[in-house]
Amino acid sequence: MLPQTHVDVLIVGAGFAGLGMAIELRKAGWESFLVIEKGDDVGGTWRENRYPGCACDIPSHLYSFSFDLNAGWTRMYAPQPEIWDYLRRCAKRYGVLGNILFSTPLRDAVWEEAQGAWQVTVGEGMRITARVLISGMGALHVPQYPDLPGMERFAGPSFHSAAWDAQAVLDGKDVAVIGTGASAVQITPQIASRTQRLYHFQRTPAWIIPKADFAIPKRWRRRFERVPLLMRAFRTLLFWNLEMRVGGFLGNRRLNRLGTKLALRHLETQVRDPELRGHLTPSYQFGCKRVLISSDFYPALQRPNVELVTQPITEVRERSIVTADGRERPLDAIIYATGFQATRLLDSAAIYGRGGISFGEGWQKRKAALWGITKYGFPNLFLLLGPNTGLGHNSVVLMIEAQIRYVMSCLALMRRQQQQVMELREEAEERFEEFLRKRMPGSVWQAGGCRSWYQDPETGENVALWPGSVREYQRRTRRVSARDYELRDGPRVN
Ligand code: N01
């Protein structure tokens, strides 16, 4: 017999979202909760992504929990090992490590109406019954490989940016980096000087603005340590500096032009060759795809051993890549910095709600979840970093914390009303869908003339980003409206 466990709350994932949730439950005195984590440590994306140059592209003082500011960040944009360390420290400090089952992936979760609980199968088949299920899975962790003819024939090392092969020898070799997203622009500058030749394959150029990164002097770190208020003031300054940008993405043309100008000036300053500059100039609106920040990507592309290849890839051979113009470039290794299956993730998660409907089916019916957190037909399921809660302009940790507060309020509401089950009403979901529909048309994510992972592959609608400011999201999720939910004591009667 496989072991069976009962808990009040089961959290999936021990990244920023899952850990933050577990910590809040612990702080509020909850005892009966578990976190299942597919990896062997906490950290989520910051455990998984270990490519050279991996770092935050949001200032670290803002990219941290509000309840655990870190005076010790060594740089404005901390490198991955520091962020991973920070999360490990938080897990330890707040005493949630004992609640985490590592190397325990979610197999499936089925809502059992008769029990008013989720039946969850994990790892090798262990079953967990949980009254409340919280997804902290995030959107960016199932690698998306391109579909290139002959990919499987390549004889040298080839791997995805999120599954970096530390054993692969790149020094003195001919290497391809495919992609021009946030990952690729961090990788190319780091490895360019080590390779013999580096071919950077770009399908679509990105808008790139300068990265004001610098080491935070020790005396400042000491000041932050001694005067936490100073650190908080600094964080507030960073917050408003980023928050202001959202208008430019929501349709404010003047703000959007300012961003475009900044990026174009950066390109002109760093790239003198007009032909190369042409290849690097996007033809879509600023912000339509994620705006990248980098001060070393353009210089890396201009190294004598680096070539920007803009011809589409037509074939991968045993030791080379062929492009549409018929050119074949010999290669020892290929790095796929080609992103993640962002919008398909929840679709494919084996979560079955009331009446056995899969999350994918529920999503097809209506591509919305209230505040990205709750969905009709899925009682007692709460999503962190769910649909339409990503950000293109500010720190997503702020969104995670707002969602955690909302979930805590939902749990408190159930307790107060002495009800076991809470389900979003269909009308509330409809209203929210309408709200999204009204917001999107003027935004750059939809009207900006690009294709990006923010968009639903079928409809082209933005299903990834929150179409507003962080302040607005925080305000709107501050209170749970009981009218949006049906609260019931156990099984449903129709
Ligand atoms: O992935 P992406 P990413 N031939 O999807 C290209 C977060 N993040 O891993 O634009 C050639 O952005 C594709 O081209 P196109 C952040 O939220 C954060 O870089 O589709 N190219 C694109 O250029 C980010 O947005 C940090 O035409 C091909 C690239 O691959 C998200 O993760 C760091 C191709 C994929 O870019 C994803 O970023 C890293 C082909 N056949 C990531 N197929 C921080 O610093 C695809 N591409 C916090």
Find how far residue 452's CA is from the centre of its chain: 14
Query: What separation in Å is there between the alpha carbon of 100 and the centre of ligand 1?
Result: 31
Q: Which class for 198: exposed (0-12), middle (13-18), buried (19 or more C-beta within 10 A)?
A: buried
Q: Which class for 83: exposed (0-12), middle (13-18), buried (19 or more C-beta within 10 A)?
A: buried
Ligand 1 within 6 A of 62 CB?
Answer: no
- 8 Å CB contact between 62 and 174: no
List phi, psi (to 5°) of 64: -155, 165
pLDDT at 491 (0 to 100):
62
CA distance 187 to 206: 15
List the residue whose alpha carbon is closest to atom 34 of ligand 1: 146
- Of 81, 75, 70, 9, the C-alpha closest to 43 is 81
Ligand 1 within 6 A of 453 CB?
Answer: yes
Q: Residue 10 is which amino acid?
A: L
- 8 Å CB contact between 103 and 39: yes
Among 48, 56, 180, 454, the mutation site with the greatest number of ligand 1 atoms within 8 A of its Cβ is 180
pLDDT at 349 (0 to 100):
75
Tens digit of pLDDT for each residue in 148-202?
A: 999 999 999 999 999 999 999 999 999 999 999 999 999 999 999 999 999 999 9
Ligand 1 within 6 A of 44 CB?
Answer: no
Among 51, 60, 77, 140, the mutation site with the greatest number of ligand 1 atoms within 8 A of its Cβ is 140
DSSP element (H, E) containing 118: strand 117-122
- Of 362, 411, 409, 407, the C-alpha closest to 389 is 407
DSSP element (H, E) containing 77: none
Ligand 1 within 6 A of 56 CB?
Answer: yes
- 8 Å CB contact between 43 and 102: no
| Residues of the chain where predicted confidence (pLDDT) is lower than 70 | 1-4, 343-348, 491-494
**DSSP per residue, 124-167:** TTEEEEEEEEEE---SS-SB-----TTGGG--S-EEEGGG--TT
pLDDT at 140 (0 to 100):
81
pLDDT at 272 (0 to 100):
96
CA distance 367 to 343: 11
Query: What separation in Å is there between the alpha carbon of 185 and the centre of ligand 1?
Result: 9
CA distance 424 to 438: 21
Closest-lying ligand 1 atom to the alpha carbon of residue 204: 27
The token pair that represents 180 in the structure block: 């021009």
pLDDT at 494 (0 to 100):
43
**DSSP per residue, 173-194:** SEEEEE--STTHHHHHHHHTTT
pLDDT at 346 (0 to 100):
66
Ligand 1 within 6 A of 179 CB?
Answer: yes
Query: What separation in Å is there between the alpha carbon of 451 and the centre of ligand 1?
Result: 11
Ligand 1 within 6 A of 182 CB?
Answer: yes
Closest-lying ligand 1 atom to the alpha carbon of residue 57: 45
- 8 Å CB contact between 33 and 99: yes
Query: What separation in Å is there between the alpha carbon of 438 and the centre of ligand 1?
Result: 28
- Of 44, 35, 37, the C-alpha closest to 9 is 35
List the residue whose alpha carbon is closest to atom 19 of ligand 1: 181
Ligand 1 within 6 A of 138 CB?
Answer: no
Query: What separation in Å is there between the alpha carbon of 340 and the centre of ligand 1?
Result: 8
Ligand 1 within 6 A of 309 CB?
Answer: no
List phi, psi (to 5°) of 111: -75, 120
Ligand 1 within 6 A of 373 CB?
Answer: no
What secondary structure letter does DSSP report for 98? G
Among 145, 183, 208, the mutation site with the greatest number of ligand 1 atoms within 8 A of its Cβ is 183
Among 161, 301, 338, 389, the mutation site with the greatest number of ligand 1 atoms within 8 A of its Cβ is 338
Query: What separation in Å is there between the alpha carbon of 453 and the centre of ligand 1?
Result: 8
Tens digit of pLDDT for each residue in 120-151?
A: 999 999 999 999 999 999 878 789 999 999 99
- 8 Å CB contact between 380 and 422: yes
Closest-lying ligand 1 atom to the alpha carbon of residue 55: 45
pLDDT at 2 (0 to 100):
53
CA distance 490 to 476: 29
